[in-house]
Structure 1
Amino acid sequence: MTTCSEYIESEFPHIDDDLKQYVEDVLQNGADDFQDSEEVYDAVGEVLQEVSTDKSELDIRNICNDLLRIMKPDIGDNKQNGQRKVLNAPVHLGSMAANLENNVDDIKSIWVMHRDDTLKVDSRKLEKAEAKLQEKQEKRSKDYSNKTVVIPVLQTATASQVTSKKEIKLEAKGNNRTQDIRIENFDIAYGDRVLLTSADVSLAFGRRYGLVGRNGLGKTTLLRMISSGQLRIPSHVTILHVEQEVIGDGTLALDSVLECDTVRQNLLKTEKELSNAINAGSTDPELSNKLTEVYAQLQNIEADKAPAKASIILDGLGFTSAMQSRSTKTFSGGWRMRLALARALFSRPDLLLLDEPTNMLDIKAIIWLENYLQNWPTTLLVVSHDRNFLDTVPTDILYLHSQRIESYRGNYEQFMKTKTEKHKNQQREFEAQQQHRAHVQEFIDRFRYNANRASSVQSKIKMLEKLPELKPIEKEIDVVLRFPDTEALSPPILQLSEVLFRYNAERVIFSDVNLNANLESRICIVGDNGAGKTTLLKIIMGILAPTSGIRHTHRNLKFGYFSQHHVDQLDMNVNCVELLQSTYPGKPVEEYRRQLGSFGVSGDLALQTIASLSGGQKSRVAFARMCMGYPNFLVLDEPTNHLDIETIEALGKSINKYNGGVILVSHDERLIRMVCKELWICGNGSVKSIDGGFDEYRKIVEQELEAQSK
């Protein structure tokens, strides 16, 4: 391990000695078990990321790859063909050659035999065969060069829209100053698949809209069409779509947020230039007048209060004072997404588009965001599958289904009541019309050839033709997720006793952890981001070893692990069936399709490339792959990210039916309430069970937020 040690010192010159020793121990103990660099990253990547201030996740992964090559030179590209022979003593080639010359007759007598001349190769025939082989190779290479290599192109979404002449004229003249947004008669397609047709969306200024619908129907695509300008809206309306994380550079987190206010930034820049000119001895009276105007404008926009406002937003999203003073490049992808959200909240565009904003937040930040958005002054359009968030934030719900969008007043709970009642009335009206049609048709059939009733029959026929054509309500297919059945195991199943874990002497993640779990367990772990929830899960599964304490598991315990980055780690270039084949080869195609079907990925969907699926569909594929190994204990880290409301409901039901154990990390309040039997809070260096369940935890969080705001 000397080489690994030197390499770690060269890459991390300021690493703590205890932490370095910990990394070396993990690498030394697991050297024989590591099969690829991903396993090395799972073991020590998180630790190395913590101690590095200038390295990205990709840099850490490359370092883990180098460590694997140092430990196992034969692995990967360095692997040699055949087995290597290790000499146990030096060899002197000169003496060997001399001995061979002296004993050449003896060697000949033993090894050299007289060959039959008939077995000699005819040189002419050999030349002719080689020429023929070369001719074939040239012909093959020529045929290949003439072939056109078709590179598969990922389909993209397209939109078309009909705009009235009146709106075009108003826009051209610059007279359209309304803040309301109306997008009429538009279509959106993804390749050959039509997502929306002849749809309309109306967004009144100052209202908050929640966009809901099943996975894969086009919610995210609709937001992208609006933000990219493919769906036209008034040019004076400013739009901000929070989709991509902030680029990591040397900018401080607080400054990154303040930069969004371009008006303030430009005024401050002008103020600095004018002040420097005056201090340099300029006597131009215009400079003083301009400087006075700039000061007045800065005062009007309350520029001096901007840092405090930005700090409040960052604090609400989980950034401590120390974190606000760190450069953006030191944050992980999840924290950079929070920065992007903070920038959007600070800049306050006319139309704010949010796509699953709660995915990267812990429960404390979600509650803060719910409270903050209830006073949002402009128009908000948010895609979310968090049921509690949709009950708290939106004033209206836009329901996407059957290639159209319906608008409902009220939050999600009111939407569900209204939609259910509306569908019942529509179904009653359809059934009543069908009965009426049948009754009239019976009269027509009975008296069709009766001359005395001819006029009545004709009037009945005309009446049927004039009746509006009502259609039955299209019922959405219920989402069903099926976890595999498992065999019972005799306890104890899983135990953590007096477990302590730390990365270095100063930073203890948690201590005195005592956790018992069996196949009936439904344990939910909650806590702030960075409190150690994922670290605890890795200790439970044996990926990380505790610093001290005992971890005991049943010998037949088999974990199924769903990580919060599971979806991002799927191979995007293969289809769903091929993904399962690569992980579990040798099974019939029908078995792969049956496994995918048990998680709602059936029909043509199972043959689509992973890249073309929505986030929720990718999650279902990840579940299908996880369960194909028939685990008897599920460890789920943020499994609801990207899932729609119906699939989250189905996940909760399937967890309750599953006859294995479950440990769950989630911020989805509804799922926690559905499945939780034990609630553990991870934070402040400990992991403790809480009486009173989620209600008690929510009270604690709200009290902390109230104390912060004072």
Structure 2
Amino acid sequence: MISITNLSYYLGSRALYENASLHIKPNQKIGLIGLNGTGKSTLLRIINGEYQPDGGTISKAGDVTIGFLNQDLLSYQTDESILAVAMQAFERQNKLQKQIDKLLHQMETNYTDDLVDKLGKAQEEFDALDGYTIQSRAEEILEGLGFSTDDLEKPLKQFSGGWRMRVMLAKLLLQKPSLLMLDEPTNHLDLPSIQWVEKYIQTYEGAVLVVSHDREFLDNVIDVTVEVSGAKLNYYPGNYSFYLEEKALRNEIQRGAYENQQAKIRQTERFIERFKAKATKAKQAQSRVKQLARMELVDAVIDETARVNFKFQFSTQPGRHILHLEDITKHYGPKRIMTHADIRLERGDKVALIGANGRGKSTLLRIIAGTEPLNEGRRQLGHNVSFSFYAQHQLESLNIEDNMLEELKHANPTKSEGELRGVLGCFLFSGDEVFKKIKVLSGGEKSRVALAKVLLSQANFLLLDEPTNHLDMQSVNILIQALEQYEGTYIVVSHDRYFVSQIANKIWYIEDEQIKEYPGTYDEYEWWLEERKAEGAGQGAKGNSQPVAAPKPQAPTPKPQATDDERKEWQRTLKKLTQQAEEAESRISELESRKKKLEAELADPTTYGDNGALQKKNEEYQRLTQQLDQLQAQWETAMLEAEEWEKKLA
């Protein structure tokens, strides 16, 4: 469908792409991943024809149509309703509708055979293009993306940038291009809308190329992962989880090949150094010099998994009770958010506040921070509680004349410049970038600086509103590590399910104008939610039930003294278990030999020249590894059981 061959694209002297190739097939669902700045969005614009490559070719089939959702669409405004904007996708149907309306108007005063014929042809084409269903299709997609029925006739300009982006996404989905390109589509979607888009893409009849930092979203929608790394497009035939496993395997093989080659180089260099001056060995030494010159070097594995150690410090240790919202009511005119709601937060709670947009999550965070007034009720912070609040509007509080280093120094004067540089490095600011003034930073860069400030503050209670919105996967991983090390209490609003599953031990959600709590992880919450749906909403709403714990095994009842027949049976069982262990051990030895041989083949750089052979060898390597794991488990089980029978016979 689309072939990218030997693509090269440069930013000044820096190569974003150099002889990179990729083939996009019909109906493929491709996830494009890589660190910030590697050129993911640039590739989408090159495919879309906005940027011209410096080298290589991009070939497209003649009937290929491309739809591109990008962040530039946030600025689009119009007085038209969002339904009318979405229906712009049906260009031909809209043109026919206007023609039909015009003909009907003319026929009121001038009924001729020519007009009747034109009307019939227009109506026939309109019907063939499913013109009578376009409004219902547009309404279905807009409502799937979170708009209410009342919203559909409101002007687009009344909505915020995130909601305008949803309208543009709806328009794109209605156009049904043969290649749908989405640049960070989940940034402006809440969880129900993300799940709706996932289901839509899973059944989408065209190809999809998506850039996203949402791991679970990628796992649910893609069947191919393409990593932008080293100015190349590296192809992995599976979703993001498969990519992680396959990348680790390739790195392991490459690391082994690199270390073996380096050892050989060192050995050769020692030979040359030792014998180059001896006449009898000079020829051999010169031969080794040529051998080194011809050697195709294996690249060292670059570890892109950043590790972080923030060493959080509290200015004060809080008491046991962090927060109590007592009988609170919040409404905006007739719109009620919370009514006589009550919730408590204890020291050490790690809370994820989740749910659809418009339910009041950000409002609740502002209430907790004391920046949003209550209509009724009381907000009470506990003893020695000091908090720090991260939200998008907090970016305005950054001093635009400060550089990044100075801004972080204000947050924590006790940190050295080296420690502050380390934190900024974790958030992808390196070298002299740390001296950039805040006023020249992009919105995403300002978000990262503000987030770093919050993490460096000496607060014992953090409030974080959508902290992952402008972070790539590496930065999200850093934030997860930081929050895992944080010994204080926090409440995080996020729609990133993987992030939430890693950092929360309690789930809050707003339902029926109440703040409700699920006392467990996000994975457990999802399990409970499915159980609740199965039982029926009415019955499930009565309380926050938790997963039922498995009953604890009871201690075995002591048996009476064994008879001779029982002991003979025990001996037969022991012999059988011993034989099973020996057979497993023999099989393990055989598979380990095969695995070692396969590792040598995979370490050979020529193997990477044949993608088909490489894939087969990788599959065999994974199969052998899995079989070895199973055999090891069988051997261990047999040995443990045999040991128990030996004790009985002793």
Query: What SS does structure 2 have at the residue aligned with 1:259?
Result: helix
Which residue type is aligned with residue 128 of structure 2? N
**C-alpha contact 1:391 1:412 (8 A) present in aligned 2:** yes
For residue 2 of structure 2, what is the aligned residue in structure 1? Answer: 180
Aligned counterpart for 2:511 among listed residues 670, 678, 683 = 683
Deviation at 1:543, TM superposition (A): 1.0
User: Is the alpha carbon distance of 1:297 and 1:575 closer, same or farther for their aligned partners in structure 2, counting shifts above 3 Å?
Assistant: farther
The question of 1:563 aligning with 2:420 is answered no
Counterpart for residue 238 of structure 1: 65
Tell me how far 1:592 sits from its aligned partner.
6.2
Matches within 5 A, 1:54-203: 179-182=1-4, 184-189=6-11, 193-203=14-24
Contact 1:215–1:617 (8 Å) recurs in 2: no
User: What is the one-letter code of the residue matched to 1:273?
Assistant: K
Q: Please report how far the alpha carbon of residue 600 of structure 1 lies from its aligned counterpart in structure 2 after TM superposition.
A: 5.1
Q: Does the CA-based 8 Å contact 1:199-1:403 persist in structure 2?
A: yes
Instruction: Measure the CA separation in 2 of the matches of 1:262 and 1:514.
Output: 52
- Deviation of residue 601 (structure 1)? 3.1
Aligned twin of 2:635: none
2:117 to 289, 295, 303: 289
* Secondary structure, aligned partner of 1:263: helix
Instruction: Give the Cα–Cα distance (whole angstroms) in 1 for the partners of residues 136 and 267 of structure 2.
Output: 73
Q: Equivalent residue for 1:52?
A: none
> How much has 1:444 moved relative to structure 2?
4.4
Cα deviation code 1:245-282 (max 9, x no counterpart): 27343322222211122121112122222322333305
Change (3 A) 1:349 1:705: farther
Q: Pick the aligned partner of 1:207 from 8, 23, 28.
A: 28
Would the alpha carbon gap of residues 193 and 511 (structure 1) be closer, same or farther in structure 2, given more than 3 Å must change? Answer: farther
Q: Deviations over 1:668-687 (max 9, x none)?
A: 11121112111111133111
Pairing 1:352–2:180 present: yes
Letter in 2 for 1:268: Q
Using the size of structure 2 for normalisation, the TM-score is 0.73
2:417 & 2:484 partners in 1: Cα distance? 29
Partner residue, 2:558? none
- The answer as to whether partners of 2:255 and 2:301 remain within 8 angstroms in 1 is yes
Pick from 534, 540, 544: which aligns with 2:372? Answer: 544
Say whether residues 1:220 and 2:41 are aligned partners: yes
Indicate which of 398, 401, 404 corresponds to 1:576: 404
1:525 Cα offset (Å): 0.9
SS at match of 2:482: helix
Aligned to 1:509: 337
User: What one-letter code is carried by the residue in structure 2 that aligns with 1:271?
Assistant: I
The amino acid across from 2:20 in the alignment is: A
Pick the aligned partner of 1:494 from 291, 314, 323.
323
Do the aligned partners of 2:318 and 2:383 also contact (CA within 8 Å) in 1?
Answer: no
Aligned partners of 1:195 and 1:400: how far apart in 2? 9
Letter in structure 2 aligned against 1:386: D
Partner of 2:105: 276
CA gap 1:183/1:582 in 2 versus in 1, 3 angstroms: farther
The letter for the 1-side match of 2:2 is D
Contact 1:636 1:663 in 2 (8 A): yes
Deviation at 1:654, TM superposition (A): 1.3
Distance, in Å, in 1 between the alignment partners of 2:524 and 2:354 is 12
CA deviations 1:40-73 (Å, max 9, x no partner) are: xxxxxxxxxxxxxxxxxxxxxxxxxxxxxxxxxx
Tell me: CA distance 1:675–1:587, structure 2 relative to 1, closer, same or farther (3 Å): closer
1:253 to 58, 69, 82: 82
Q: Partner of 2:353 in structure 1? A: 525
- Check 1:407–1:240 CA distance in 2 against 1; reply closer, same or farther (3 A cut): same
1:495 maps to a residue whose letter is: H
Distance change (3 Å), C-alpha of 1:612 and 1:489: same
Shift of 1:558: 2.1
Give the alignment's TM-score, normalised by structure 1. Answer: 0.67
Unaligned ranges ≥5, structure 1? 1-178
1:371 is aligned to 199
Give the corresponding residue for 2:550. Answer: none
Residue by residue over 1:311-332, the C-alpha shift from the partner in whole angstroms, topping out at 9 and shown as x without a partner, is: 2211211112122232223322
Correspondence for 1:422: 250
Q: Is residue 506–residue 520 contact of structure 2 (8 Å, CA) maintained in 1?
A: no
Percent identity over the alignment is 32
For residues 524 and 215 of structure 1, do their structure 2 counterparts lie closer, same or farther at Cα, with a shift above 3 Å needed? same
How has the CA–CA distance of structure 1 residues 403 and 607 changed in structure 2, closer, same or farther, with 3 Å as cutoff?
Answer: farther
Q: Structure 1 residues 361, 553: CA separation in 2 closer, same or farther (over 3 Å shift)? A: same
Gap change, CA 1:608 and 1:353, over 3 Å in 2: farther
Measure, in 2, the Cα distance between the counterparts of 1:465 and 1:587.
Answer: 48
Deviation at 1:443, TM superposition (A): 4.4
Pair 192,660 (structure 1): closer, same or farther in 2 beyond 3 Å: farther
Q: Tell me, what secondary structure is at the counterpart of 2:89? A: coil
Of 467-476 and 539-548, more deviation after overlay is shown by: 467-476
Contact 1:519–1:662 (CA under 8 A) maintained in structure 2? no
Contact 1:532 1:683 in 2 (8 A): no
Deviation (angstroms), 1:688: 0.7
Query: Cα distance, 1:637 vs. partner?
Result: 0.7
Q: What residue in structure 1 maps to residue 302 of structure 2?
A: 474
Match of 1:327 in 2: 155
CA, structure 1 residues 435+585, in 2 after alignment: closer, same or farther (shift >3 Å)?
Answer: closer
RMSD (Å) for aligned C-alpha atoms: 3.4
1:63-100 CA-partner distances (Å, limit 9, x unpaired): xxxxxxxxxxxxxxxxxxxxxxxxxxxxxxxxxxxxxx
In the superposition, relative to structure 1, how do residues 515 and 374 fare at CA in structure 2: closer, same or farther (>3 Å)?
A: same
Deviation at 1:579, TM superposition (A): 4.9
Aligned equivalents of 2:469, 2:282: Cα separation in 1: 66
Measured in 2, the distance between the counterparts of 1:409 and 1:613 equals 37
- Name the residue aligned to 1:435: 263
Distance 1:302 1:267, change over 3 A: same
Write the deviation string for residues 130-184 of structure 1: whole angstroms up to 9, x where unpaired.
xxxxxxxxxxxxxxxxxxxxxxxxxxxxxxxxxxxxxxxxxxxxxxxxx324253
Residues 226-235 or 649-658, more deviating: 226-235
C-alpha distance after superposition, 1:343-363 (max 9, x if no partner)? 111112233221211121121
What is the correspondence of 1:620-659 to structure 2 with a 5 Å cutoff? 620-627=448-455, 629-659=457-487
Alpha-carbon separation, structure 2, partners of 1:704 and 1:313: 27
1:548: Cα distance to partner? Answer: 1.6
Change (3 A) 1:342 1:463: same
Contact residue 495 and residue 516 of structure 1 kept, 8 A: yes
Partner of 1:176 in structure 2?
none
For the 8 Å contact 1:561–1:636, the answer to whether it is kept is yes
1:419 Cα deviation (Å)? Answer: 1.1
2:27 and 2:411 map into 1 onto residues whose CA distance is 50
Q: 1:238 to 1:184 in 2, by over 3 A?
A: farther
Kindly provide the CA deviation profile for residues 626-680 of structure 1, in whole angstroms up to 9, marking residues without a partner as x. 3454322100011111212222222122112112210111111112111211111
Is the partner of 2:195 in helix, strand or coil?
A: helix
